[in-house]
Amino acid sequence: MIRSLSFLFTFFVVVTCARANDLAVDLGKEMRRNFRNFDGSCVQCSLGMCGVDQNVPAASTLLWRSRYGPAERGGSGPSRVARYSRERGIKIYNITGSPTFAWMDWAVRNGRGAAIGAGRSHFQTLMGHSGRRYYVCNNNSTHRIDEYSPAGFSKLHRSSGLWCVILDAPPHPARPKYRRYW
Amino acid sequence: MIIRSLILSVVLTSVVDARPRFLRPTATPTVTPVEQEVIEQEVDVQQVLRLGDCVQHCDGLHRAAPNGTESFVELMSAVPPDDLHKWFVSVVGDGGPESRILREQWKTEPHLLALADPGESKNSWAHINFYDSRDGSQQFRFENVQFTHFPTVIVQPPRSKEYGDPSTVVYQSSYSGDPHHLSTNISQAIQFYVSKLDQRPGYDSFRAQTPEEEDVESSDIGADPPWDVPPAESDGRRRILFPDGLPIIPPREGIETVFKIPWGLIITALTGGASVPVFLGLGIWLVRQIRARRKADGKKLILDDETLERIFDVLETLSQPKVDEEEEEEEEKPVAKKKKKTRRR
């Protein structure tokens, strides 16, 4: 009994660690909380999270007025995203239709997040992909990261219309730590 | 009286806005009538369907398109190649003149461009990120790193884990103003790191550590960014003063001398040649050893490098004349003995 319990505990710890490691977007709850969707700005909330993650201040400050431009609030379509990206000097890939799946996989595989259509007329942030699970942060509940199977993720993405936005910027490095190697 | 109070109230409401920050009006964005309809919804699903299979690349150049329509559309057949294997170069600046100089030099200097090209990320050998130490949104990334000067350059291994833990600081140094010197130092550090990596037991089975989770209680989004956004221009108060540019990681002494045990001194001390300079040499070696370890562990140092070197210099100069006097005495002694011997005869 004890042996099986300890095995289960170890399995849980290993799975949790593996999941945490494989997330491309490594923002803490406190930072994610800044991107809660109060007024239907889900696209900018999702893109803003990616902006912080990839150190693109013009994208991370989309929701607020800043030196990069005015606050961009409310709903968006691909053309509006393209317009404000151009005005603020943000490099993006604005993808619609069936290529979105390949692009989302590319983004998280290479350490980038993606602002994706997820849910009925809604946008969320794709945080990572591990094994056969997808991790998505909903800007209506930023305190948690939701986990989806490939089928569940596909259904979630299709329900919003196939659209995703990926920042054309380098991914963030792992948080640096001093380790003696010399 | 009524008019005066009305004017006062109008002035007060314009100065003090009592509404929550997120409800305050912001500067009007350039919204087209079509976009105004979209703003009412969350996502313009109709437009997404109309566009069909389309990949649009906005190149980030500031320009206005006529009537808000996107005029730079590029149909791309495939996703870009993976860049998981690229090393990371992070330049942490403070908006000062040195930081701006390095950023500008990184766009033109061939030695730096060979390492990382900020303009052409696809063709760049390494990923490069320019961070501003005043940017509140990025401070969590460098919690475990100590900065002495800005700009500081940090180099880390790729995410692929091909070269060990991606969080390892392979190279850290402030900038001396010489791009060639910087690029040479970075290349040497990477070479040194890779050479050491092969010798480490079990690095193939490396697994990264779990990032720490933080508890959050409440949330709020304001009209202004919730962190300090760095200003566009520096305050200009700092004057250009580049530090020496010697790498902190890996330490120079770490590569060359720290781990060379001074066997000569030890043998001299053990074989009866113990003297003040010998013990002083051993002491200096020990202090340097401890200091290098503390530096590597990221602990705070009691004295800075310059002060310590000065102390060592003073100690060495103090011990030097004594050595000479002893040598002179030793040289004189046999003569005296000889004299004594001649007297006996």
Q: What is the CATH number of the domain that holds B100?
A: 3.40.30
Residues of chain B positioned with their CB less than 8 A from the CB of A69:
29
B231, part of any domain: no
pLDDT-derived band at B199 (thresholds 50, 70, 90) equals low
B20, part of any domain: no
Query: What's the confidence (pLDDT) of residue B253?
Result: 54
pLDDT tens-digit series, residues B202-226: 555 444 443 444 444 444 444 677 7
**A77 Cβ under 8 Å from any chain B Cβ:** yes
pTM score: 0.67
Higher pLDDT, B276 or B111: B111
- Say what angle helices B305-344 and B276-296 make with each other, to 10 degrees: 160
Record the tokens describing residue B13, joined without a space: 């409401």
- Could you read off the pLDDT tens digit of each residue along chain A, which spans 182 residues? 666 666 555 555 444 444 545 689 999 999 999 999 989 999 999 999 999 999 999 999 999 999 999 999 999 999 999 999 999 999 999 999 989 999 999 999 999 999 999 998 899 999 999 878 999 999 999 999 999 999 999 999 999 889 999 999 999 999 999 888 87
> CB-side exposure of B308: number of CA atoms within 13 Å?
13
d(CA B49, CA B61): 27
In this structure, is the dihedral angle defined by the CA atoms of residues B335, B338, B344 and B345, taken in order, positive or negative?
Answer: negative
d(CA B12, CA B33): 33
Pairing between β-strand A133-137 and β-strand A114-117 as defined by DSSP bridges = unpaired
CB contact under 8 A, B57 and A93: yes
pLDDT-derived band at B336 (thresholds 50, 70, 90) equals very low
d(CA B168, CA A179): 6
CB contact under 8 A, A67 and B232: yes
Residues of chain A positioned with their CB less than 8 A from the CB of B128:
170
B303, part of any domain: yes
Do B288 and B193 sit in the same domain of this protein?
A: no
Chain A interface test: which of B54, B58, B122, B206 (most A C-beta within 10 Å): B58
Is residue A108 within 8 Å of A114, Cβ to Cβ? yes
B184, part of any domain: yes
**Domain count along chain A:** 1
Residue span of the structural domain in which B177 resides:
87-201
Q: Looking at residues B111-119, what average pLDDT do you find?
A: 92
Nearest CA in chain B to A73: B39
Do B194 and B277 sit in the same domain of this protein?
A: no
pLDDT-derived band at B41 (thresholds 50, 70, 90) equals confident
Query: What's the confidence (pLDDT) of residue B26?
Result: 43
In this structure, is the dihedral angle defined by the CA atoms of residues B289, B246, B168 and A142, taken in order, positive or negative?
Answer: positive
pLDDT-derived band at B22 (thresholds 50, 70, 90) equals very low
Q: Residue A86 maps to which CATH number? A: 3.90.70.10
Do B175 and B272 sit in the same domain of this protein?
A: no
B262: DSSP letter: -
Pairing between β-strand A91-96 and β-strand B171-174 as defined by DSSP bridges = unpaired
CB contact under 8 A, B39 and A77: no
Residues of chain A positioned with their CB less than 8 A from the CB of B130:
55
Query: What's the confidence (pLDDT) of residue B294?
Result: 76
Residue span of the structural domain in which A128 resides:
40-167
Q: Looking at residues B228-253, what average pLDDT do you find?
A: 61
Q: What distance, in Å, lies between the first and last C-alpha atoms of chain A? A: 46
Q: Looking at residues B298-319, what average pLDDT do you find?
A: 76
Is residue A150 within 8 Å of A134, Cβ to Cβ? yes
A142, part of any domain: yes
Query: What's the confidence (pLDDT) of residue A22?
Result: 62
pLDDT-derived band at B76 (thresholds 50, 70, 90) equals low
Residues 101-160 of A with CB under 8 A from B: 102-103, 106, 109-111, 117, 121-123, 142-143, 160
CB contact under 8 A, A43 and B143: no
Q: Looking at residues B84-101, what average pLDDT do you find?
A: 92
CB contact under 8 A, B61 and A89: yes
A85, part of any domain: yes
Beta strands in chain A (DSSP E): 91-96, 114-117, 123-130, 133-137, 146-148, 163-167
Is the pLDDT at B343 greater than 50, yes or no? no
A154, part of any domain: yes
Mean pLDDT of chain B: 71
CB contact under 8 A, B216 and A143: yes
Q: Which residues pair with residue B90 across a beta bridge?
A: B129, B154
A160, part of any domain: yes
Domain endpoint, select from B169, B201, B233: B201
Query: What's the confidence (pLDDT) of residue B37?
Result: 59
B238: DSSP letter: S
In this structure, is the dihedral angle defined by the CA atoms of residues B49, B53, B59 and B63, taken in order, positive or negative?
Answer: negative
Domain endpoint, select from B165, B184, B201: B201
pLDDT-derived band at B102 (thresholds 50, 70, 90) equals very high
Higher pLDDT, B38 or B164: B164
B108, part of any domain: yes
**A19 Cβ under 8 Å from any chain B Cβ:** no
d(CA B302, CA A169): 40
pLDDT-derived band at B112 (thresholds 50, 70, 90) equals very high
Query: What's the confidence (pLDDT) of residue A58?
Result: 94
Q: Is the peptide bond before B157 cis (omega within 30 degrees of 0)?
A: no
**Domain count along chain B:** 2
Tokens 């094994």 found at: A131
Residues of chain B positioned with their CB less than 8 A from the CB of A157:
none
d(CA A158, CA A148): 14
Query: What's the confidence (pLDDT) of residue B228?
Result: 73
A71, part of any domain: yes
* β-sheet with B126-132: strand ranges across: B126-132, B87-93, B152-156, B171-174
Query: What's the confidence (pLDDT) of residue A176?
Result: 92
- The angle subtended at Cα A89 by Cα A84 and Cα A91, nearest 5°, is 90
Is residue A65 within 8 Å of A44, Cβ to Cβ? no
Q: How far is A40 from chain B (nearest CA, A)?
A: 5
> Is A49 strand, coil or helix?
helix
Domain endpoint, select from B166, B201, B236: B201
A29, part of any domain: no
A173, part of any domain: no
Is the pLDDT at B344 greater than 60, yes or no? no
A30, part of any domain: no
B110, part of any domain: yes
